[in-house]
């Protein structure tokens, strides 16, 4: 059994908000941040947080659009364009601090997983904070330069689709080369036949086999690292 709640937390002088899911029982439990796709904090992202809670994690999905979400690509595009990326990083840093403040959370090193826009923000948060110990960016189109990747201390599993029309394979190869050149502890997995957003089971892009493998690998990473 799990419990869920809408929560608020300090985020650099403003209030962040999000969906918190946690196992029943006092813990201690490891913690994971779940970062939204460009659609916003929709039921799909909440369900991922709930899946982590069912596996024994305290999971927080921050609402980077502060109450707004999209169902159509044009709406999502507008929300992304209007999002202040620096404030989003502050919201995520606030979410990290909030999880670390919870008495039922241990260790205080936290995991992070994100999808599409959230995959890119997963990399950015891991570069910004050494307290992210494990990270799983899925189809991160905006990838930090090599000097930013070199700041990441987290162990990573990075998932991409071979048929992703928005992320050419040469970009993925460059990303992997940058990880290797900076000696980061990371696995990059490209799923044959998988398009962008292959993990989202509410979209036509969903590919069950790739999604299951990526979930299993991410979960195993968090279970091993966040002891």
For the chain, 227 residues long, give each residue's pLDDT as a single digit of tens.
999 999 999 987 888 999 999 999 888 999 999 999 999 999 999 999 999 999 999 999 999 999 999 999 999 999 999 998 889 999 999 999 999 999 999 999 999 999 999 999 999 999 999 999 999 999 999 888 888 899 999 999 999 999 999 999 999 999 999 999 989 999 999 999 999 999 999 999 999 999 999 999 999 999 999 98
Paired with 156 in beta bridges are 135, 186
CATH of domain 2-225: 3.40.50.1820
Active site residue 164: yes
Q: Is the pTM of this model over 0.85?
A: yes
Active site residue 44: no
The values of phi and psi at residue 87, to 5°, are -70, -35
Q: Which of 63, 116, 131, 158 is catalytic?
A: 116
Q: Which of 50, 63, 91, 164 is catalytic?
A: 164
Q: How far apart are CA 167 and CA 108, in angstroms?
A: 33
* Domain limits, the chain: 2-225
- Strand 31-35 relative to strand 14-23: parallel, antiparallel, unpaired? unpaired
Q: Which of 19, 50, 131, 196 is catalytic?
A: 196
Active site residue 116: yes
Q: How far apart are CA 30 and CA 49, in angstroms?
A: 13
């Amino acid at each position: 059994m799990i419990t869920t709640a809408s929560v608020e937390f300090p985020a650099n002088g403003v209030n962040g908000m999000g969906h918190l899911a946690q196992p029943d029982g006092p813990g201690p439990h490891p913690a994971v941040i779940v970062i939204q796709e460009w659609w916003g904090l929709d039921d799909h992202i909440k369900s991922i947080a709930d899946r982590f809670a069912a596996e024994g994690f305290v999971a927080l999905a921050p609402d980077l659009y502060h109450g707004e979400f999209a169902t159509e690509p044009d709406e999502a595009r507008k929300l992304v364009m209007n999002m202040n990326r620096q404030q989003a990083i502050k919201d995520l840093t606030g979410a990290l601090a909030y999880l670390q403040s919870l008495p039922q959370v241990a260790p205080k090193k936290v995991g992070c997983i994100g999808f599409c826009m959230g995959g890119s923000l997963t990399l950015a948060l891991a570069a910004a904070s050494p307290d992210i110990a494990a990270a799983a960016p899925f189809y991160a189109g905006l990838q930090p330069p090599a000097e930013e990747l070199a700041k990441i201390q987290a162990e990573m599993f990075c998932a991409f689709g071979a048929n992703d029309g928005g992320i050419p394979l040469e970009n993925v190869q460059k990303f992997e080369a940058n990880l290797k050149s900076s000696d980061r502890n990371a696995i990059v997995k490209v799923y044959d036949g998988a398009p962008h957003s292959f993990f989202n089971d509410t979209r036509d892009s969903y590919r069950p086999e790739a999604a299951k493998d990526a979930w299993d690998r991410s979960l195993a990473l968090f279970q091993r690292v966040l002891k």
